[in-house]
Structure 1
Amino acid sequence: MTEIQQLYPRLVVDGADDAIAFYARAFGAELVERYTDSAGHVVHALLRAGPAVWAVKDADGHDPAPGSGGASVILALHVADADAVAAAVVDGGGTVIFEVSDHEYGERGGRVSDPFGHVWMLATRTEDLTPDEIQARTVANH
């Protein structure tokens, strides 16, 4: 089995910046990183409070917020080999949502659903990019 490098929940919300402010007030969370698309919508914001880490993103056409029929949480799993883990999920009865592919933000990854309905984002780091490089590539490609 491949090495697991990190696991954190991704919360899909209507109003990511409001959620970030709420989690800062309620939990003392600090913003670690934040990336937006060309329209200014948050596509990824990583928060940390003590040892806890989670991400927040604005709802969109792929990820509706829970109140509008979306998943309540997406699990982001960083692994040594996203292709192998995706194949293992499918072999175990899961389904592919987005095929594993190379992404402009320096990761190879995809999205799968396990046999119990939970959504997993699988990723392997392929490039070490600065936050500014990730933001520029994200805006250019969305």
Structure 2
Amino acid sequence: MTVQQLYPRLVVSDADGAVRFYAAAFGAELVERYTDGSGRVVHALLRAGDALWAVKDADDTDPAPAGPGAVIVALYVDDPDAVAAAMVAGGGRVLFEVADHPYGERGGRIADPYGHAWMVAARSEELDPEEVQRRTAAAYP
């Protein structure tokens, strides 16, 4: 078996709105978009840099999540402060402010208007796994 591709599919209450939000917040481009006979989005694939993810409108089979936390999408960027600000400007809500963390990252967590939590971060130090563990255990006893 060979894994050929892996990307998240986010179920949202307004897929076209989510596409606009992610385009404004992340500079995402719409790669493909398909709808059912009623016009409901069944698949919209987005790309920002090397990252791929999809959104679809909620339906009876795939209900939208009640709130952020069921899935946390980790997004590594060059400027987490700017991305967080763009998300908030587009209607996102800060869950954790962007800050420097002892495990070698600067990042925060933002809930998008569609029920998903996004951890936006940048690596600020190159640390080996043992040092990350040591710092994390010390910071979060």
TM-score under structure 2 length normalisation = 0.51
Deviation per CA, 1:71-105: give whole Å up to 9, x if none.
32110000000000000000001110000000001
SS at match of 2:118: strand
Structure 1 segments unaligned to the other structure (5+ residues):
1-7, 10-68
Correspondence 1:19-98 to 2 at 5 A: 71-98=69-96
Kindly report the root-mean-square deviation, in angstroms, between the aligned alpha carbons of the 2 structures: 1.8
Q: Which residue of 2 aligns with 1:110?
A: 108
Structure 2 counterpart of 1:96, which letter? V
The answer to which structure, 1 or 2, has the higher relative contact order (CA under 8 A, 6+ apart) is 1
Deviation of 1:117 after TM superposition, in Å, equals 1.3
Taking only the aligned residue pairs, the percentage that are identical comes to 63
Deviation of 1:120 after TM superposition, in Å, equals 0.3
Are 1:141 and 2:134 an aligned pair?
no
Aligned residues: 76
| 1:100 aligned residue (98, 104, 108) | 98
Structure 2 counterpart of 1:121, which letter? M
Change (3 A) 1:89 1:118: same
TM-score under structure 1 length normalisation = 0.51
Q: Measure, in 2, the Cα distance between the counterparts of 1:83 and 1:102.
A: 11
Q: Which residue of 1 aligns with 2:118?
A: 120
Deviation of 1:70 after TM superposition, in Å, equals 7.2
